[in-house]
Amino acid sequence: MLTQDLPIFIGLSILSEILGTVGGFGSSVFFVPMANYFMDFQTVLGLTALFHLSSNISKIGFFRKGFDKKLVLTLGIPAVVFVSIGAFLSKFLNPTFLTLALAAFLIIFSLVFIIMKELKIMPTTKNAIIGGTFSGLIAGLLGTGGAIRGATMSAFDLKKDQFIATSAIIDLGIDLSRSIIYSYNGFVKKEVFYLIPILFIIGIIGTYIGKRILDRITQEQFKRFVLFLILAIGVSTLVMNYR
């Protein structure tokens, strides 16, 4: 599996981690559609959860200058609960449907924030709970909910390091939960176990490079570029499924 395409897969995985770190949306928004070119969607879900475990540990290490404890609770707890529900439900949904749903989600999300530049979510506990609920559910079903979580967290005016550390801690709980359920669902397959140490190293390298880039530019500048990239990935995922 992936023998000939492994170098390409590794290169794209590093790029996903860099873009996810700098853009603030997390690597899964790029990794999931990218990995879906190489393997079936259910395997991608299982592998993404394992990849994110190492990725988020790296982020916590590199961006450890404090985190928002209140957000970890108000956004993180509902995210962990609903990612478990979404991960369980993913077993009963057609993988093709999930892939198309992922494409639609990426396209709609990016267009909303590209067109509505001034769109902001109010920094309330209620919105944190709602954002955590939806980001967790989407992450369980489609493998990526960081975009919704990032949009919710941006309302709370956190510093860059604090933003990434808080997001990584929440994501760590999400990935631990869904890894267990994906394993129960049979999504974590023995054929891809050899990729786990490779992705662990990729998580460290990509996070380090992303941090170096983030030190030199504002997150807002790069986020605009990332939104257009997410749109392109969503469109290409949609087109690939209709070839």
Using 50, 70 and 90 to split pLDDT, how confident is the model at 130? very high
**CA dihedral sign of residues 164, 55, 142, 74:** negative
Place of tokens 């902001």: 120
| pLDDT tens digit sequence for 196-207 | 888 888 888 888
> pLDDT tens digits, residue range 75-110?
999 999 999 999 899 888 887 787 788 788 888 878
Instruction: Give the domain ranges of the chain.
Output: 6-240
Rounded CA-CA distance 82/106 in Å is 20
Six token digits for residue 60: 């916590």
The span from the CA of 165 to the CA of 168, in Å, is: 5
Q: What is the pLDDT of residues 33-44, one digit of tens each?
A: 888 888 888 888
Nearest-angstrom CA–CA distance, 106 and 104: 6
Check residue 243 and give its pLDDT. 55
pTM over 0.95: no
What stretch of H or E contains 171?
A: helix 160-185
Determine the average pLDDT of the residues in 4-20.
Answer: 87
Q: For residue 193, what are the CA distances in angstroms to 6, 10, 190?
A: 14, 15, 5
